[in-house]
């Protein structure tokens, strides 16, 4: 009987564990340093009539990571971005099969040659965005003869909008503010160009949700490599990723950022106190940005890929997902849409549908139509629907 | 030859000194603790072909205040609100004639009985608002048989509007933020009611300036006493003061305030640092809110007084002033419109046109049509025009 080990019992890890445990063929172990997170993982599985084993351990320790995963047929990574890379590095050297959703700052793909040596098969960045976003973008690109433009838009939002920010953070709020500050890499006219975060604002109508605003954030990640200017003759000439929020949020964030409230350099106050503005801002905003238990969220993902089809006709491949909080399991849309692409890949790793050694970005799934179909089925069964349309574009 | 002493050589004190020195009958002395402010006062007068004497002295010291004003026929107070009350108290006890523009938090009118004993004749709050605003309100009330409503709106603004705040502070920016936090006293239906600052927003079209927004601030001050619920049978049933800004400013200030950035209680950061949010906010915003040398401002004052005239007809008395930076003297509109009501009163004190012992609010001028006419002439000669209209109001 195959065994899966989930590293991290946070919001996403818990959903992964319960999802895998639904398969009576798989034994599931969840590992975390925090007892209460483990208890919630266990309770969550039991509530669904499933069973998971929980182990308390400090996964910032390399030896512990190896010990905990020694007999795992597949490992799911759902660790904090702080410690995720070190854990992945250990798993790569030990030749494990891994599906990982951590938003690491380090370059996980640089571990690929070591994985090729050890036989490790790893897919990283395989949450919702990056993750499903990149699977769909690569799928759209593969369906076209020539691709000119990739436009990805994604946002996790509270259903109930409260003044002034109309926002809650579905993941670490410090990562959210970081996204509003970090310079944004986009591909324009065949070159990597840097833009300011929160710029390039546009309004977008999303059926059932209403009008949102989209603005640039640094979310291209692996796409800038796999389909960027240096990717060969089929490089895509323009690509960007945008974040979706309720209208007005970006303006407020710009005001705070440009007034200095996100500053990381300490400023000196009249009484001599030194303070990093970002620390105070985080202290004031984050409690207001926390989801309360049972507070409902939604996730919107839109991927628009355009180019020409095999007949030379201008064509748009469009993928749209609007997912909502699951009242049955009281789990957030953000945790579900992040966990399910990874549990889909975990099953592909278990049954050998995907078995190429290396550390791969999500595009590796996206370029194989059979794996894409399997992933979309996997999501659909879990209530996450991705609508796909292919449309002729007006010429000129 | 009469002598005037100006306490404080800040932006307003300097304009007062130069204005009084234009009268060859008056010798003018300016006192301040800061050498460079004194130098600017001297240079400003010389540039206009006038002469002022400057004395460096610490006016937070009571004995110094008395020594500096010992031979003054009239004293003009333009001190920081921090030290203004103590200076006024000394002047009251010494029986001086005073016109004061400081925005004190203490109740200066409470010194009135001591002034009556010593023979001191003082008019306080006699800048633009409070000041001219209250003169005009009282004048409008006096012109009606019965007054129902007083609406005062005032704002000092930069001519050039820059994102995001479209604001510069014509006086101490800490006093500006204080105005956005302090609960607002308004008179509604014959009772004093407390409202939130920045509330009660409305758009206002000002000819030559454009659309501004008006919102409640705590600017009624003495009017809540002189014409408030306890003022007798002629009490006005509703009165409010609003601040004028370019549209959008109040929303941003509300966001900052309600997010906690104006908080005066220290918060503890993860590293143990204790910081008052207001201190950091001031540190970040105030440099952006400073007028640069030569940067032009404008001041808008609107006072609408409505009720019934002697014939029982519904009537509106409206006063409007839009004043602009003076390029000839390179002095701001805010400093000129604040200084001139005080220099007008100084002359009334010198020639005995107003001689009643006590500490008086500006309404004392406003209720005497001859003094109002003299003040408006005084302003008009200096290029500050107040337009007055009397209109019948639609009935019902």
Per residue, what are the HEC states of B164-230? CCCCCCCCCHHHHHHHHHCCEEEEECCEEEEECCCCCCEEEEECCCEEEEEEECCCCCCHHHHCCCC
Q: Does A263 have pLDDT greater than 90?
A: yes
ipTM: 0.90
> H or E stretch including B111?
none
CA distances from A64 to A7, A8, A58, A104, A222 (A): 11, 13, 7, 20, 29
Q: What is the pTM of this model?
A: 0.93
Nearest to A284 among B261, B273, B284 (CB): B261
CA distances from B124 to A162, B101, B342, B344 (A): 44, 6, 9, 13
Nearest to A164 among B258, B273, B280 (CB): B258
Contact call for residues A66 and A94 (beta carbons, < 8 A): yes
pLDDT at A74: 98
Tokens 């509007």 belong to which residue? B161
Task: Give me A354's structure tokens.
Answer: 């995907």
pLDDT at B394: 85
Residues β-bridged to residue A157: A298
Which parts of chain B have pLDDT scores under 70? 395-396
Taking residues A97-116, what's their average pLDDT? 96
pLDDT at B62: 96
- Angle CA A39–A45–A47, to nearest 5: 100
Hey, is A189 helix, strand or coil? coil
Contact A164 B255 (CB under 8 A): yes
**Cα–Cα nearest to A137, from A376, A341, A367:** A367
Tokens 């059926």 belong to which residue? A207
In angstroms, the separation between the Cα of residue B173 and the nearest Cα of chain A is: 15
How far apart, in whole angstroms, are the C-alpha atoms of residue B279 and residue B277?
A: 5
Residues of B in contact with A273 (CB under 8 A): 273-275, 279
Tokens 């915003």 belong to which residue? B285
Per residue in A26-67, pLDDT (tens digit) is 999 999 999 999 999 999 899 888 999 999 999 999 999 999
Contact call for residues A304 and A388 (beta carbons, < 8 A): no
For A194, other C-beta atoms within 10 Å of its C-beta total: 9
Residues of B with CB under 8 A from a CB of A: 164, 251-252, 254-255, 258-261, 263, 267-271, 273-275, 277, 279-280, 283-285, 288
Residues of B in contact with A251 (CB under 8 A): 164
Residues of B in contact with A283 (CB under 8 A): 267-270
Residue of B nearest to A251 (CA): B164
Hey, is B290 helix, strand or coil? coil
At A249, the pLDDT band (50, 70, 90 cuts) reads: very high
Per-residue burial over B49-77, b if 16 or more Cβ lie within 10 Å, else e, is ebebbbeeeebebeebbeebbeebbbbbb
Residues of A in contact with B249 (CB under 8 A): none
For B308-327, the DSSP string reads E-TTS-EEEEEEEEEEE-BT
**Cα–Cα nearest to A139, from A128, A150, A129:** A150
Residues of A in contact with B271 (CB under 8 A): 279
- Angle CA B327–B330–B335, to nearest 5: 110
Ranges of beta strands (E only) in A196-285 are 202-206, 210-216, 238-245, 267-268, 274-275
Contact B267 A279 (CB under 8 A): no
Nearest to A252 among B255, B274, B285 (CB): B255
pLDDT at B396: 58
In angstroms, the separation between the Cα of residue A169 and the nearest Cα of chain B is: 16
In angstroms, the separation between the Cα of residue A260 and the nearest Cα of chain B is: 6
In angstroms, the separation between the Cα of residue B133 and the nearest Cα of chain A is: 33
Residue of A nearest to B289 (CA): A259
Hey, is A168 helix, strand or coil? coil
Residues 6 or more apart from A332 whose CB is under 8 A from it? A11, A170, A291, A296, A297, A325, A326
Taking residues A376-385, what's their average pLDDT? 98
Q: Does A1 have pLDDT greater than 90?
A: no
pLDDT at A396: 59
Residues 6 or more apart from B351 whose CB is under 8 A from it? none
pLDDT at B294: 87
Hey, is B347 helix, strand or coil? helix
The length of chain A in residues reads 396
Nearest to B284 among A261, A270, A273 (CB): A261
Residues of A in contact with B275 (CB under 8 A): 269, 273, 275, 280
**CB contacts < 8 Å between A and B, how many?**
63
Nearest to B164 among A255, A271, A285 (CB): A255
Q: What are phi and psi of A28, to 5 degrees?
A: -120, 130
Q: How remote is the C-alpha of A79 from its chain's centroid?
A: 13
Residues of A in contact with B289 (CB under 8 A): none
Task: Give me B357's structure tokens.
Answer: 């012992």
Contact A267 B280 (CB under 8 A): yes
Q: How remote is the C-alpha of A317 from its chain's centroid?
A: 21
Task: Give me B365's structure tokens.
Answer: 């001028």
Residues of A with CB under 8 A from a CB of B: 164, 251-252, 254-255, 258-261, 263, 267, 269-271, 273-275, 277, 279-280, 283-285, 288
Contact A279 B270 (CB under 8 A): yes
Contact B277 A275 (CB under 8 A): no
Contact B274 A279 (CB under 8 A): no
């Amino acid at each position: 009987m195959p065994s899966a080990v989930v590293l991290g019992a946070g919001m996403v890890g818990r959903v992964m564990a319960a999802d895998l445990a639904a398969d009576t063929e798989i034994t599931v172990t969840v590992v975390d340093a925090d007892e209460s997170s483990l208890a919630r993982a266990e309770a969550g599985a039991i509530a669904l009539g499933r069973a998971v084993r929980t182990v308390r351990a400090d996964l910032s320790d390399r030896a512990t990571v190896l010990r905990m995963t020694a007999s795992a047929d597949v490992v799911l990574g759902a660790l904090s971005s702080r410690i995720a890379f070190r854990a992945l590095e250990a798993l790569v050297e030990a030749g494990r099969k891994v599906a990982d959703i951590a938003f690491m700052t380090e370059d996980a793909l640089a571990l690929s040659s070591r994985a090729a040596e050890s036989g490790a098969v790893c897919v990283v960045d395989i949450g919702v965005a990056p993750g499903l976003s990149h699977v769909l973008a690569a799928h759209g690109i593969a369906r076209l003869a020539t691709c000119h433009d990739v436009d990805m838009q994604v946002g996790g939002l509270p259903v109930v909008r409260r003044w002034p920010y109309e926002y809650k953070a579905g993941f670490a709020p410090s990562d959210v503010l970081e996204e509003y500050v970090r310079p944004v890499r986009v591909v324009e006219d065949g070159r990597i160009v840097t833009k300011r975060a929160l710029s390039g604002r546009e309004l977008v109508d999303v059926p059932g949700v209403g009008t949102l605003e989209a603005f640039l954030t640094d979310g291209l990640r692996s796409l800038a490599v796999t389909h960027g200017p240096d990717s060969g003759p089929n490089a895509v000439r323009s690509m960007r990723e945008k974040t979706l929020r309720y209208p007005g949020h970006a303006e407020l964030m710009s005001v705070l950022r440009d007034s200095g409230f996100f500053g990381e350099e300490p400023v000196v106050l009249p009484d001599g106190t030194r303070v990093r503005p970002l620390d105070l801002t985080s202290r004031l905003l984050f409690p207001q940005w926390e989801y309360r238990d049972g507070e409902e969220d939604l996730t919107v993902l839109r991927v628009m890929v355009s180019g020409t089809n095999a007949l030379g006709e201008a064509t748009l491949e469009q993928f749209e997902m609007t997912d909502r909080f699951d009242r049955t399991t009281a789990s957030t849309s953000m945790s579900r849409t992040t966990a399910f692409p990874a549990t889909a890949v975990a099953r592909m790793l278990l049954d050998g549908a995907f078995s190429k050694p290396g550390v791969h970005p999500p595009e590796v799934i996206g370029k194989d139509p059979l794996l894409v179909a399997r992933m979309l089925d996997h999501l659909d069964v879990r209530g996450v629907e991705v609508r796909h349309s292919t449309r002729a574009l007006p010429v000129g």
